[in-house]
Structure 1
Amino acid sequence: MKWGIRFLGIISCILGLLSCVKEPEWSTVPSISFSRIQKITKISNDGFGGKAKIDSVVMSIRFKDGDGDLGITQADLIADPAKFKDFRNFEVNVLLQKNGKFIPINFSPSLGGLMNFKFKADQKPGPIEGTVDYSTQFVYAFYKGYSPLFTEKNDTLKFQIFIRDNALQASNVVETDPIVIFQD
């Protein structure tokens, strides 16, 4: 009986200590770090009875945000159209390696877009952290159309990424590792 009371006492102390865990205190400006980049090459129908080679590039970042106001829904966009006009909360800039240096390439439309979901299901303010993946595709048949600076094959790209929260605060900018698209 004494052993059972001691055991319950120990368990109660442990549970008491665990309930005292304090939420982290992070800035309300989102902060990101680069996690990884990967390329997935596949062959798909080109819509004209032939096949097209596609390189899908998947970029992953880690994020932290002190008030958890990341992500947006269609209802948010409709509720405040003036604030969110042309709003993009995930921005990606492309850099192409030329003569050993990385130069910016302008894409139209630019890469990135909306993280169109709420990161916090309960939508209560508070710190959040996690990982976001973004993917884009480079279709070999249209490759030269992306930019006149691209070569026929084996171009090395890097990407610069930043995010915005719903208060329109921009995170820091991270840069991915280089990746080669349309390798022979």
Structure 2
Amino acid sequence: MKLLRTLRTSTLLLLTGLAVSSCLEMPDYPETPSISFKSISSERVSDGFGLYDRVTITVSFKDGNGDLGLREEDKVEGSPWARLNPDLTLNPFYNNYYITPLIRNAAGEFLPLELDNPNDNYNSTYPPLDKDSNGRETPLRGDLSFTTDFFAGDPLKPGEVVRFEVFIYDRALNKSNTIITDPITIPR
């Protein structure tokens, strides 16, 4: 009788363990990152440097091997993320977070903000997001919030309606899909 109860308890524990482990399988995401729009906010900030509009965009991301983010030391000469290509042209992979402001015109269309110098932009770099993987390829999912400051009135004018186009790259230079944020109005 005691043997039967022990056998039944052991079987129950084994089946429970198998059920729990099957629930903990790694997600199967593509190795190319994908993003979706989550939120956008803006606030007017005044500090010792002046008055500016701080815009924070949050995207949700998924990546199958978790190779998202760069460190500044990754951007050394000769790396795929160096500032300049061997022919001394700007490397498009120097940044991994790409943002383009889209301004609504009088006709209601959103057009890319034109900057005086085409090399000026709001692109930037986000740090590695796979800090706990110890170099292992691990699927990642989460939210990435990024803040950009625009000096008040230049180039975004008070009262203008703007939205942003965003995409990211992973360390293998795979480009995510492009998302467009909800519109916001620049404070007056």
Superposition TM-score, scaled by structure 2 size:
0.78
Quick one: distance in 1 between partners of 2:54 and 2:168?
21
Unaligned runs of 5+ in 1: 47-51
Letter in 2 for 1:104: P
Q: Is the 8 A contact 1:68 1:120 kept in 2?
A: no
Alignment of 1:33-44 (within 5 A): 33-44=36-47
Aligned partner of 2:144 in structure 1 is: 132
- CA RMSD of the aligned region, Å? 2.4
CA distance 1:180–1:26, shift in 2 (3 Å): same
Alignment of 1:54-65 (within 5 A): 54-65=52-63
Q: Is the 8 A contact 1:94 1:106 kept in 2?
A: no
What is the deviation of 1:177? 0.4
Aligned partner of 2:16 in structure 1 is: 14
Q: Is the 8 A contact 1:36 1:61 kept in 2?
A: yes
Aligned partner of 2:103 in structure 1 is: 96
CA distance 1:9–1:54, shift in 2 (3 Å): farther
The reply on whether 1:114 has 2:125 as its aligned counterpart is yes
Quick one: distance in 2 between partners of 1:66 and 1:27?
5
Letter in 2 for 1:103: L
What is the deviation of 1:59? 0.1
What SS class does the counterpart of residue 19 from structure 2 fall into?
helix
What SS class does the counterpart of residue 172 from structure 2 fall into?
coil
Structure richer in strand, relative to its length: 1
What is the deviation of 1:118? 4.2
Quick one: distance in 1 between partners of 2:9 and 2:56?
50
Quick one: distance in 2 between partners of 1:179 and 1:91?
18
Q: Is the 8 A contact 1:70 1:164 kept in 2?
A: yes
Alignment of 1:134-153 (within 5 A): 134-140=146-152, 143-144=153-154, 146=155, 150-151=156-157, 153=158
Moved more, 8-17 or 162-171: 8-17
Instruction: Give aligned pairs, total.
Output: 169
The reply on whether 1:68 has 2:73 as its aligned counterpart is no
Unaligned runs of 5+ in 2: 84-93
Superposition TM-score, scaled by structure 1 size:
0.79
The reply on whether 1:123 has 2:131 as its aligned counterpart is no
Percent identity at matched positions? 26
What is the deviation of 1:83? 1.4
Aligned partner of 2:86 in structure 1 is: none
Quick one: distance in 1 between partners of 2:32 and 2:111?
28
Letter in 1 for 2:176: S
